[in-house]
């Protein structure tokens, strides 16, 4: 085979080839703009004011296209002004962004993508898609309602606050807790962390893990507001999962009036602003205070009604006992007199009849002989004996019935009187329990002004009061200090 001499080959310079490529490319793309979707892999803000990037497109985890890109200083300033606070959230490594670009090719620098503008709505749409994917994932894992199963304390006192210190969100929450109109005092600690940017997610999760073993009543995750891109960290699946599985109830107060983040959905309680969250905690404490006062007033009212009812019942029973005893005695006495009158009437009847027989006997004796008289005398003696026996039996029987009746009356009266006395003693014991003297032995006190009991009248400041205790009376001067009194009573109620 005959070798060809290199001098016979047609050769081209590199510049000529690249120049031809540029001519061909410019014939198709010169002065034309394209919307290009690509992922950012490298970002370099140069001292010159330009920004140099590396764009890539992947498929099935592999790079199928890669190219460098540039944002010239004037375009960069325009894009920064357009995006505002969202610029750092969009121009971030790993983000997929929709660019308006111009394709440029030079013999020296090769292919370059010149970025003219960025479509922020594409980035927001991508965030929303990712948010919905996280929500569906949490639903499948049954984590959305996990933290809501924690029972909240009746009064929330100890709060762990996660957020960026000295921001509007933290300031608003502290104002609600420290300057509430009821003068309630809350204990809280602030755990500072970033709430946006690349490290925000890791810092928030770190604090949540740390507070799993704390003695706080609730954990509050706070952010003072911002754009959708600023608040994107609160759509994080990892943060949402940490909240769902947390050992404490987690509250969120993120400053978005029209949207709900993923962490809001998994939180035990969420509010749209830190101010609303603080107000909720304060009002929850106030509702408990109102419930305590209502219960206290009900107990006092019930006690007063109970004593009045017992006094009325006691008075009625005493009257009934007295009246019934007199009535029964009078009734039995009347029966006894009736029986005695019947006995006497029977005896008088028999005596009268026998007198008549005696009178008739005298007439017979006066008219008949002696043996008839003797016979009648014997008959008379026998009759007199019968009269005596019969009269004595009737009288004895009547007296026995009278004695039995009296015994029954006396026994019944004693039984009724004993029953009523036992009931009366029980009532008196109940009254003694609520007697002021016994109340004082339990540690209560009776306040008086000039010897008169204080009820609901207005007490002027510096008024001298008499405080009656169990074995002594204290003279004190009234100084108005509502704040101290409320704090003391609240602490005692919570300890009990």
Residue 340 has pLDDT above 70, yes or no: yes
Task: Provide the pLDDT for residue 313.
Answer: 86
Closest by alpha carbon to 235, among 140, 162, 132? Answer: 132
Superfamily of domain 12-118: Nucleic acid-binding proteins (2.40.50.140)
Task: Provide the pLDDT for residue 370.
Answer: 63
For the chain, what is the radius of gyration of the CA atoms?
A: 55
Phi-psi sector, 255: left (phi>0), alpha (psi -120 to 50), beta: beta
Superfamily of domain 144-272: Response regulator (3.40.50.2300)
Task: Provide the pLDDT for residue 482.
Answer: 61
Task: Provide the pLDDT for residue 368.
Answer: 63
> CB of 361 within 8 A of CB of 374?
no
Most confident among 50-54, 400-404, 451-455 (mean pLDDT): 50-54
pTM for this entry: 0.48
Average pLDDT, integer, range 243-253: 92
Average pLDDT, integer, range 374-396: 76
Average pLDDT, integer, range 130-154: 88
Q: Are strands 110-118 and 62-71 parallel, antiparallel or unpaired?
A: parallel
Residue 116 has pLDDT above 90, yes or no: no
Calculate the average pLDDT of the chain. 81
Most confident among 302-311, 332-341, 354-363 (mean pLDDT): 302-311
- Phi, psi at 259, each rounded to 5°: -135, 160
Q: Are strands 473-477 and 464-468 parallel, antiparallel or unpaired?
A: antiparallel
Comparison of pLDDT for 189 and 6, the residue scoring more: 189
Average pLDDT, integer, range 338-359: 80
Q: What's the pLDDT tens digit per position in 182-214?
A: 888 999 999 998 887 778 889 999 999 999 988
86-119 per-residue burial string, b: 16 or more CB within 10 A, e: under 16 = bbebbbeeebebbbbbebbbeeeeeebbbbebbe
Task: Provide the pLDDT for residue 380.
Answer: 77
Tokens representing residue 42 in the block: 């490298």
């Amino acid at each position: 085979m005959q070798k060809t001499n290199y001098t016979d080959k047609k050769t081209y310079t590199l510049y000529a080839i690249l120049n031809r490529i540029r001519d061909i490319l410019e014939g198709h793309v010169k002065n034309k703009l394209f919307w290009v979707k690509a992922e950012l892999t490298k970002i370099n803000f140069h001292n010159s004011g330009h920004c140099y990037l590396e764009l890539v497109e992947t498929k099935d985890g592999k790079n199928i296209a890669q190219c460098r890109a540039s944002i010239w200083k004037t375009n960069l300033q325009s894009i920064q002004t357009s995006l505002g606070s969202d610029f750092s959230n969009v121009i971030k490594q790993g983000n997929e962004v929709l660019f308006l670009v111009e394709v440029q090719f030079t013999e020296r620098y090769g292919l370059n993508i010149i970025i003219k503008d960025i479509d922020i709505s594409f980035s927001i749409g991508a965030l929303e898609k990712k948010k919905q994917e996280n929500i569906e994932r949490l639903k499948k894992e049954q984590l959305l309602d996990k933290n809501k199963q924690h029972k909240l304390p009746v009064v929330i006192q100890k709060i762990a606050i996660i957020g960026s210190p000295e921001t509007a969100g933290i300031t608003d929450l502290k104002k609600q807790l420290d300057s509430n109109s009821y003068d309630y005092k809350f204990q809280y600690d602030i755990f500072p962390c970033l709430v946006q940017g690349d490290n925000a997610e890791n810092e928030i999760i770190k604090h949540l893990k740390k507070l799993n073993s704390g003695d706080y009543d609730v954990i509050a995750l706070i952010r003072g507001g911002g754009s959708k891109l600023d608040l994107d960290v609160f759509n994080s699946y990892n943060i949402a999962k940490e909240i769902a599985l947390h050992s404490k109830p987690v509250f969120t107060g993120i400053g978005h009036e029209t949207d709900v983040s993923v962490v809001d959905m998994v939180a035990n309680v969420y509010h749209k602003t830190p101010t609303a969250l603080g107000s909720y905690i304060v009002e929850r404490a106030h509702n408990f205070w109102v419930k305590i006062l209502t219960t206290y007033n009900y107990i006092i009212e019930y006690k007063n009604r109970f004593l009045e009812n017992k006094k009325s019942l006691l008075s009625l029973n005493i009257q009934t006992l007295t009246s019934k005893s007199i009535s029964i005695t009078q009734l039995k006495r009347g029966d006894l007199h009736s029986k005695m009158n019947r006995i006497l009437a029977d005896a008088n009847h028999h005596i009268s009849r026998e007198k008549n027989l005696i009178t008739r006997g005298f007439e017979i004796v006066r008219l008949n002989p002696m043996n008839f008289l003797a016979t009648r005398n014997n008959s008379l003696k026998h009759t007199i004996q019968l009269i005596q026996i019969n009269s004595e039996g009737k009288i004895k029987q009547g007296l026995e019935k009278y004695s039995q009746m009296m015994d029954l009356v006396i026994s019944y009266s004693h039984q009724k009187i004993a029953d009523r006395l036992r009931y009366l003693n029980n009532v008196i014991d109940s009254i003694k329990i609520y007697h002021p003297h016994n109340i004082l032995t339990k540690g209560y006190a009776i306040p008086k002004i000039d010897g008169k009991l204080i009820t609901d009248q207005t007490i002027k400041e510096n008024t001298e009061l008499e405080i009656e205790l169990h074995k002594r009376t204290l003279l004190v001067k009234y100084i108005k200090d509502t704040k101290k009194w409320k704090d003391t009573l609240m602490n005692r109620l919570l300890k009990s």
